[in-house]
Structure 1
Amino acid sequence: LDHQRLADLSERNLFNQESSDLLYLFGYELVEEGLYTLGVPVLKRAALLFPNEERVLTELAHIYEQLKLYGEGKKCLLQSPDLVETSFMPRYLVAFYSLMTGDLQEAIDWFAGLPQLLMRIPIESRDSYAYMYGNISHMITRGKLLEPHTPLDSYDLLGWNGVINGNVVLHRSEFGMEFMGGRYAFYQESCPQLFSCIHSLRSLLSDLSISPQRILSLPDRDSRILSYIAAKFFQCPVEILSEATCSLPGLITCYSSDFIDSEGFDLLSEACEGQVFWCHASNWTQGSIAPDFISYFAQCASPPWGKRIGLDEKITDHSDEKPPTITKEPLEGSAEHIADTLYQTYEAEPIEDTTQTKKLARILFSDGNFFHTKRTRSNQWADSPVSSQSFSFN
């Protein structure tokens, strides 16, 4: 953090609070340092003094987006209706924020004027704007397709995730929607629960007439163990995803989106013919690359073979308010050996009803060539119209 630079800008703004350049620059620097809440009053002051200055309004909207206050971002932009009517970026943001606040029809209305505004941008500068336009165009299309078949209300995690990210979620938290919106904060899953997710995935892929030729595992240990387990259900071999294998058809398997590093992102960015990407545990608070299928959302997921916290079985008196716990060490051995041991030891829990997820999958992947053509994978957005608490884990 360049403290001196921020201090100088702060001092200059104290004596000249009506300079558009100074206010914008100060707010921008605060945003660049991640000091979003400090940037709000600075840019709100700039927006009050210069209500039609696009860079000020879009930077303020960006702060609200980072704070997941999409309604506030939309409100600040709509204070300058002429700008939203005549400029691509403000109109794009209003359409996107309408989606993120759960208003599909409003998003459709604002989207309607975007093609004309895109064409006004000089062709040499148009590529990045065209990419944004393509993203929201896909969202709108998916929204129109899904709306007749799913509520798209403030509790519809599966439906809205399909609209925003274009993927299918297999499981919602059994603890309800009130605080976490069907997600987990910390999830310490069991083998039967994990096996149930694989059963559900296999059922969905079968319904889509997809039979993986191989499992392509991300290289981290948890993904490799998961891949060897999945291979037993799908009865196919496992290969590690690499530059040499990333163009092969198969089921790409990732235990947690937290394990996707920059190299993995590069390998996953282009979906090749015959590839399906399954991320078992997706951390919805951190943007990543969008898979085709997600088992569940969790900020922190602990696999059955990892280090775990459990009750001390030697102590039978649990009358204390806080029951005695012990830390269980992770299983040792090769990924293949651990997978084989767990597969032979446990059985799946009863499989969840997949009627709705199958319906959503058929709609989202209604193009029979979806998994048979090369395509660019989009980003997984770090939020949704279905609100949730989030936590900090040390």
Structure 2
Amino acid sequence: MTVERILPSDEAYELLGLTREIAEGELVPRAAPYEERGEFPRDVLRTIGRAGLLGLPYPEADGGGGQPYEVYLQVLETLATSWVAIAEAVSVHTLSCFPVAAYGTERQRKSLPDMLGGDLLGAYCLSEPQGGSDAASLTTRAVRDTDEYVVTGTKAWITHGGHADFYNIFCRTGGPGAAGISCLLADATTPGLLPQPPERTMGLRSSAPAQIVLDGARVPVDRLVGEEGGGFRIAMQALDAGRLGIAACAVGLAQAALDQAAAYAKERTQFGKPIAAFQGVGFMLADMATQIAAARALMLAAARLKDAGRPYSAEAAKAKLFATDTAMKVTTDAVQVLGGSGYVSDYPVERYFREAKVLQIVEGTNQIQRLVIARSLTRD
């Protein structure tokens, strides 16, 4: 189904056209076999990077694409329609570039062209085995030893863990609470930085997360991003933008599920006519389409606030919450439309259903999004 879009420039239309070409030519043929094998698509991400799609919302002077967030998110949505693991990887990499792009020293920022061009793949290490939503209570500790930090702890659910070239490590350099957290930029070759085997996940098997054990990892002091004690602020700012990325992934995945369901409903006949002609199926498809359109509108409204430099944290939470809940409902309904065919891997809606669930969890669970929204309503 063609989505009618109003984009801010001719360049943006051309960019979406390029994205569709890459999605159809490079992603669609690879998605199912890579997911079945659980193979990380590093070669595909290099192709995405060479096309200029890994640094879209960052300034051209830094090696980025100089695109507004509303355009970047629609690129992510388009990628997700073909292979959501790739869109999620692009979103996480974009998130991982934020600390250096926004707070990095002049020396750290020299790596930005390679980061934004995709030669260096990033990972974002905030969650821990015993602490995900309560990020301010993280326990990974960095102790200053002359010109190095010695880092000890374990990070969990790290997308690109074991495949990334650089890791943003959020760790405790001071006392308890948010004020004691700092951000360190560590190379994958850092001694003592030990990626663990990937998790065995329900979906997104080609991009399964992994724990990162930090066993006395020694990170040079000049790899501190921002100020000591400023890490929590960096993490939360990055997550606001990252939540919009996950919303875009959810919208694209839901659109793919609707497209499959509608196509099947037109072809599948029962009692002498296509099942789409039956009100029970037709109304289900109509609700799916309406929910997706609403999710897309909410996502783009939040993106335009961000592009205008206005507060958007609560709107990002609303977009992430609604879009990912929509993806879960739409993929569930798509399986129902296909009936028995939706329950087997011959059709992609079975995979879409499994993939949708994780989007309600990553970048802050949807319960946390509700908390963010509620607090925004009652804050003086």
Instruction: Please state which band the TM-score falls in when normalised by the shorter chain.
Output: under 0.3
More helix by share: 2
Q: Which has the larger radius of gyration?
A: 1
TM-score (norm 2): 0.26
